[in-house]
Amino acid sequence: MSKITDIFKHKEKTFSFELFPPKTEQGYQNLLVTIEKLCALKPDFISCTYGAGGGSRDKTFEISQHLQEKHNVPSLAHLTCVLNTKEEIKNILENIQSRGIQNILALRGDPPQDNPDWQPGPENFQYSSELCAFAREHFGDYFGIGVAGFPEGHLLCPNKDKDAQYLKTKIDAGADFVITQLFFNNDDYFSYAQRLRALGVTARIIPGILPITNYKGLVNFTKLCGATVSDEVKQIFEPIQDDKEATLQAGIQFAVRQSRVLLDGGAPGLHFYSLNKVSPVDRILAEIRK
Ligand SMILES: Cc1cc2nc3c(=O)[nH]c(=O)nc-3n(C[C@H](O)[C@H](O)[C@H](O)COP(=O)(O)OP(=O)(O)OC[C@H]3O[C@@H](n4cnc5c(N)ncnc54)[C@H](O)[C@@H]3O)c2cc1C
């Protein structure tokens, strides 16, 4: 099964999706059907998120393994290091390796709501760059390693130049590529890429795209993750927020427009936050692949 970095060698632009592990068995069964349909869209890879809480963590790897073994689609397993000791992370990486998964998105994660004041000790990692270095030290080139990037700066690091420096630290520690936080103003992406290039980062910076299907939900979610709801998004979606169908159509149009500008401007592909749904990602992809 391919490493994503090998795909990069022969593909200028990749199209990929993100999934998350459902909380219930029924949700999991539904996801298997969704996966079948998403794989039929021939993505270059599919990623699966990792819950800081614990319960769904094994599901991340189960889903990642399923994608590869049943559908022959390379998977990217997210992995956070918050709360875990280095020894535990080594065991988890061995588990991932034993399943034949060769790509990880190395993340720090956030302390969970029931333990918000957790602080790393010497037995833990403080930043995701340390997780990247650890994976390289113990597993050599086995893993292709992606990391998270924040075009608007990370919530805890509003200084964008500093945040870009920290991103470079992740690359210097062994990361191969970047997937970004969702954003709606493409200028944020292009200036982020410029900041990183100026620091000598040559790795692919793949934009994360969230198709808008629920405006109120979006406003709440962006408060948590630190992305800005742009004036353009407000103007389009606020007046139609109670009309589901109008929101869906406008969401598709917006994502198609955003994607085209990104690709035309040199973005090396797109990573869609599918929210475990086939539509509207299928319709957006059909438009931009035309
Ligand atoms: C594409 C993507 C996928 C994600 N998937 C998941 C997921 O599956 N599960 C999950 O729980 N969360 C996920 N997240 C959220 C992520 O875990 C949080 O945003 C978290 O707060 C930061 O993780 P990180 O890996 O960027 O951390 P880090 O890279 O460690 O950065 C954390 C903070 O520390 C700062 N920093 C970094 N290095 C240094 C340093 N050397 N000195 C001082 N400050 C430093 C950074 O600027 C930032 O403010 C995802 C985010 C993105 C963008």
Q: How far is the CA of 156 from the centre of ligand 1 (A)?
A: 9
| The predicted structure's pLDDT at residue 113 | 85
Q: Is the CB of 148 under 6 A from ligand 1?
A: yes
Distance of CA 161 to the CA centre of its chain: 22
Q: Is the CB of 56 under 6 A from ligand 1?
A: no
Choice among 105-119, 129-143, 252-266 with the minimum mean pLDDT: 105-119
Q: Is the CB of 16 under 6 A from ligand 1?
A: no
Considering only CA atoms, which residue is closest to atom 37 of ligand 1?
A: 166
Calpha distance 63→66 (Å, rounded): 5
Considering only CA atoms, which residue is closest to atom 47 of ligand 1?
A: 163
Token output for 92: 């988890």
Nearest in space to 101 (alpha carbons), one of 116, 79, 129, 121:
79
Q: Is the CB of 224 under 6 A from ligand 1?
A: no
Nearest in space to 230 (alpha carbons), one of 258, 268, 267:
258
The torsion defined by the Cα of 80, 86, 92 and 96, in degrees rounded to 10, comes to: 80
Range of the domain at 21: 4-288
Query: Which residues touch 119 (CB under 8 Å, ≥6 apart)?
Result: none
Q: Is the CB of 83 under 6 A from ligand 1?
A: no
Q: Is the CB of 179 under 6 A from ligand 1?
A: yes
Q: Which residue out of 45, 127, 170 has the highest number of ligand 1 atoms within 8 Å of its CB and is therefore the one to mutate?
A: 127
Considering only CA atoms, which residue is closest to atom 39 of ligand 1?
A: 166
Domain count, the chain: 1
pLDDT in tens, 14-57: 999 999 999 999 999 999 999 999 999 999 999 999 985 556 78
Which conformational region is residue 5 in: left (phi greater than 0), alpha (psi within -120 to 50 degrees), or beta? Answer: alpha
pLDDT in tens, 57-92: 899 999 999 999 999 999 999 999 999 999 999 999
| The predicted structure's pLDDT at residue 52 | 54
Confidence bin at 114 (pLDDT 50/70/90): confident
Q: How far is the CA of 107 from the centre of ligand 1 (A)?
A: 5
Pairing verdict, β 144-149 and 45-48: unpaired
For residue 91, count other CB atoms closer than 10 A to its CB: 11
Say what the pTM is. Answer: 0.98
CA angle 240, 244, 247 (to 5 degrees): 50
Q: How far is the CA of 281 from the centre of ligand 1 (A)?
A: 25
Confidence bin at 234 (pLDDT 50/70/90): very high
Considering only CA atoms, which residue is closest to atom 16 of ligand 1?
A: 109
Catalytic residue IDs: 18
CATH number at residue 144: 3.20.20.220
